[in-house]
Amino acid sequence: MKLLRLGAPGKERPAVRDSAGRIYDLSGLTGDIDGPFLAGGGVQRVRAALGSGELPLLDAEGMRTGAPVARPGKVVCIGLNYRDHAAETGADVPQRPVVFMKDPSTVVGPHDTVLIPRGSAKTDWEVELAVVVARRARYLAYPSDAAEAIGGYAISNDVSERAFQLELSAQWDLGKSCETFNPLGPWLVTPDEVPDPQALGLRLSVNGVQRQDGTTKDMIFDIAFLVWYLSQYMVLEPGDVINTGTPAGVALGLPDTPYLRAGDTTELAIDGLGSQRQTFEQA
């Protein structure tokens, strides 16, 4: 099942896309797709409503696609989680997950305009598999317990300003939390449609030139381990987003460091999770 939110920013309505590509309005079932919806059995209610045929069709033609989850409480990110990406940036392969946070307000729709920050010379791209939390996760006993906390998966573009990230501070937050720096979606795909999250191809192109082409099987720390690990140090709440790292091919690691400029476009895709496209503009 693919959950999505359609409409102008701040006025999105919840919807669901079935296996035939039809879009149904969920406004009569829930006010939004958010943490309370996920934690309160919302997915099960939608599945039952779809099966009974009681949901009204929605004409989504021309409607903006928002992020599939309303503003999360937090966005937790994992850095250097692919060996080839660590190598291209000159970093050692981490022995423990590299964890940083991203301002939740960075989350925007999958096709929204992304703003290059004022003073930026090194805005970069990162295609990532995002995990959306559906149940509170606190001190999980084993990585195998993580599945119960996962509400679904989505595409994330962890846009980064490398000078802000690596040159202005010992922390990464300045280069990760600029406005619009986390396009998410188009859908939240429920786990039943992603039987193996460690077998998904990830791709990203810039202005039609393919830059990233990886697979989640190359993650250093897999999804179950990451959810378990994070739960040892913070409480993961329903609606939270976890960005799980990016494969090689970012501008920082390319010989000519072709950082993004106003007018550039990025296109992202992950197997089974749809696609994104953004145009970059100067803030």
- pLDDT tens digit sequence for 210-244: 999 999 999 999 999 999 999 999 999 999 999 99
User: What is the DSSP annotation of 115-137?
Assistant: EEPTT-S-EE--EEEEEEE-S-B
- pLDDT tens digit sequence for 196-207: 999 999 999 999
Q: Which of 211, 243, 212 is nearest to 226 (CA)?
A: 243
- pLDDT tens digit sequence for 93-133: 899 999 999 999 999 999 999 999 999 999 999 999 999 99
Q: Phi, psi (5° rounding) for residue 88?
A: -70, -25
User: What is the DSSP annotation of 191-212?
Assistant: GGG-S-TTS-EEEEEETTEEEE
Tokens 């191809």 correspond to 201
- What is the pTM (predicted TM-score) of this model? 0.97
| Residue 89 in this model has a pLDDT that exceeds 90 | no
Quickly state the pLDDT bin for 91 (edges 50, 70, 90). Answer: confident
Which residues, including other chains, have CB under 8 Å from residue 143's CB and lie 6 or more apart?
222, 224, 225, 227, 228
Secondary-structure class of domain 75-282 per CATH: alpha beta
Percent with pLDDT over 70 in the chain: 100
Q: Which of 184, 170, 171, 166 is nearest to 120 (CA)?
A: 166
The tokens for 130 are 């995002």
In which residue ranges of the chain is CATH 3.90.850.10 found? 75-282
Q: How far apart, in Å, are the Cα atoms of 178 and each of 99, 109, 131? A: 18, 15, 21
- pLDDT tens digit sequence for 33-65: 999 999 999 999 999 999 999 899 999 999 999
**Is the separation of the CB atoms in 67 and 5 below 8 Å?**
yes
